[in-house]
Amino acid sequence: MSVSIERVSCEHFLSGFGIDTPSPRLSWRFKGDVKDWKQQSYELRIETLGTTQEYHVESEESILVPWPASSLRSRQHAQVTVRAIGIDGTPTSWAGLSIEAALLTPSDWSAKVISCPPQSEDETKPPFFVRRRFNLESVKSARVYATALGIYELEINGRRVGDQVLTPGWTSYDHRLHYQAYDVTDMLKVGENVLGGYIGEGWWSGRLGFEGGARNMWGTRNGLLAQLEVDGSPVVVTDESWEWTIGAHDAGEIYDGEIYDSRKLEPDWSTIASAKAGWKPVEIISPATGELIVDRAPIRRTQEVQAVEVIITPSGKTVVDFGQNLVGWCRLNVNPTGPAGSNITLTHAEVLEHGELGIRPLRVAKCRDVLTLGGDLAGWEPKFTFHGFRYVQVDGWSGLKPADLTAIVVHTDMERTGTFESSHPMVNKLHQNIVWGMRGNFVGLPTDCPQRDERLGWTGDLQVFGRTANFLYDTSNMLSGWLQDMQAETLANNGVVPVVIPDAVSRMWKTNPFNMAFAIWGDVAILAPYDLFEASGDIGILKAQYEGMKAWLHEGIGRREDGMWKDDLKQLGDWLDPDAPPDSPGRAKTDEVLVANAYLVHVTRRMSIIANYLGLADESKRYAEETLRIRKIFQQMYVTPFGRLVSDSQTAFALALQFDLLEPAQRTVAIERLSELVKRNIFKVGTGFAGTPLILDTLASNDQLHLAYRMLQEKQCPSWLYCVSMGATTIWERWDSMRPDGTINPGEMTSFNHYSLGAVANFMHATIGGISPLEPGWKKTLIAPKPGGTLTGAKVGFLSPYGQVGCQWVIEGGRLLVDIQVPPNTTAKVVLPGVDEEVGSGERHYQVVWKADERWPPKPIWMAMAPPIDEIA
């Protein structure tokens, strides 16, 4: 089989249409099973403005190579073709990409932001329509560039423009505002046309935040900015010539849902056939202050889920079960029958409690869509809200059937890159739950939860989950944009990283209790860019974020004179330690300042590595020296000479071991003590936010693989498989969000879709499956599966920037059989029992002698008169 180029891309865009980079870097991904294939050179052809330029470059680089031609101008089209030449001189076939620049400078925009007259600042703002009629004499090519202060949808001549939803998404509007580019050539006609928009409050002015939250965080008025260009010139822009009218929605809120009166909708409102009176002139309002940036990571419908059954609850309520906790909304497949003016109400929740809809975890979010009958509701679905749910209580609809509703899954459109499966059904289900949890919390930005009155971009959640996220999906577009917002907010906040990005929390209260530096949450400024760089190989991410990293490390962190964290500053620490009281999730077993200082040493060391990658040798050296200095202080503060820690907890030892905070002799004692703690805890998880991402990796990398597998396979609470045994289909916020008796945890924070504890997937990918990057962008891969527990086989795959990486193993009759796949233009280090070698691309098969770990199954430590409650899956 020959090597071919599977895909050509520019920057991290999903396609080449509507990009905002004048000199886009180019990448190509390979496909093919050829042993030891390496690229020696590549050839580019770039056709633009009627001329073709050809380039031959002697380089093995195939990801994010420099743009060799003149910079693109706004609206300019370029056709790129590339082929790679191997070290044997054989070229691949040509592969191509069509590129079209969007609007690259502010002067390209002649549109103004239009709105209806001012609406209430204390209540929800009903969505409104705007439109403009216009004539065309000819159409060869047409584009619309649009955004909103709020959420918008466009229509042309009665047809919806684009397939994105919840546009333009949520950004730090003071710094960046996404806009979308659409090819609308086939939607226009010679003669009279209509361009219309439907605008809701969205994140711009809608209610956000917990404890009641606040409205109008970025502005009090919603508006549309749109520019229609035909054959490269603006022909219709939003200005005073447009008209507006109220829509069919009485409300469209992120948290509370939609109130929709089907009698009010004029179906042909965006066509020349519209005859409805009452349209009035629009008003011009001030634009956002943030820079207009092309939306690189649009939110889309990605899946439809059919209802499993219709349940009648003990109280007589009708509830639809979709069998999967998901994020999105419901589509009505039929037009419900009933008196005109009567209502159907859809209330969404994640779980049932004693057979009834469990709405208490939603706090004050209504998560409810109310539909008034009288018009055609077949095909209806929301436009201005989204919900996190598995169950939907339907009131006012008699005779409801499962086929009458379909759940629409919505999240940021990202390429799926990572897969995992094993011989263990419950472990497989756990991994599936992790994927679903990520999908539901990557709706425009990485959130903590998708259902209650929160849904905010908590930095700590992403920091602990980042490596797993970057494996499961190509997050480069979405996270690089979110990181831009984070850096802008950090620099504006004197180096302190806000706990949520965009910083809605500081806008909720005049006195913000979270406006202080927190380790782990603030450390995202350093760790998240590095994790994304490691996954993508994009050095530009580190360059772009370096100023914010330094600001956090040098200005944001509250330090004592010796450089360690101040002891009197509040920390969130090992948040949601399983032993913490339900309403006091920060009361962990592990000293919170110990956690902060462990992370301080870790991120300082990481800064040395980052500076080295950026070619900043002097800074790299200084950070390395500082790492050694504060590491010594950490030992003096928290470690006995023998190797015990002042906090005798799983988290404390995991941090100390995994972050290399101990001397060799101390490590030996620490490993022994951590192992003892795991056994004394009957293999249940004893960690929160800080320790959970590390605990299994720590055990596995310190000759305690049997204990790592035993913890993974534990079924008693708290454990990963307890949630699975309780029917979870996503990752929970708490280990016991649902208690064994079927009651919901009484704590105020009880989400059933919170991905952070799903960071265990990194252990599943790298240790069970056996693949992890040794060089940024997976230029070199470590393939080293470590079977254990009761698992007899596993298969993991990752679609890297170079191509498919894979490892599959099975234990058969005392032999370990391993199949690996290494993509072209890369190498891998393969480590198996009796094997330690470096290989090039291609598929390879290994068969080695396998000896089971004699320590399996490990025994817990307990008092003889009190046998432990212990259950292995």
Catalytic residue ranges: 454, 733
How far, CA to CA in Å, does 570 sit from each of 26, 401, 490, 516, 565? 46, 52, 19, 8, 10
- Relative to beta strand 191-200, strand 128-136 is antiparallel
CA dihedral 717, 719, 724, 725 (to 10 degrees): -40
Judged by DSSP in three states, 35 sits in coil
Q: Are 127 and 200 in contact (CB under 8 A)?
A: yes
Q: How far apart are CA 702 and CA 671, in angstroms?
A: 7
CA distance linking residue 157 with residue 194, whole number of Å: 5
What are φ and ψ of residue 439, in 5° steps?
Answer: -55, -45
Tell me the two tokens of residue 411: 């999240």
Q: Which two tokens stand for residue 690?
A: 């800080």
Q: Tell me how far CA of residue 470 lies from CA of 465, 518, 738, in angstroms.
A: 9, 24, 29
Q: What is the DSSP string of 524-592?
A: HHHHHHHHHHHHH--HHHHHHHHHHHHHIIIIIS-B-TTSSBPTTS----STT-TTS-TT-TT--SS-H
CA distance 111 to 121: 26
The reply to whether omega before 168 is within 30° of 0 (cis) is: yes
Length of the chain: 873
Q: Cα angle at 482 between 481 and 483, to 5 degrees?
A: 90
Backbone conformation region of residue 191, classed left if phi is above 0, alpha if psi is from -120 to 50, else beta? left
Q: Which of 21, 10, 22, 65 has its CA nearest to residue 43?
A: 65
Contact criterion met (CB below 8 Å) for 173 and 261: no
Reading the block at residue 334, the tokens are 């039929």
Q: Three-state secondary structure along 257-306?
A: EEEEECCCCCCCCCCCCCCCCCCEECEEECCCCCEEEECCCCEEEEEEEE
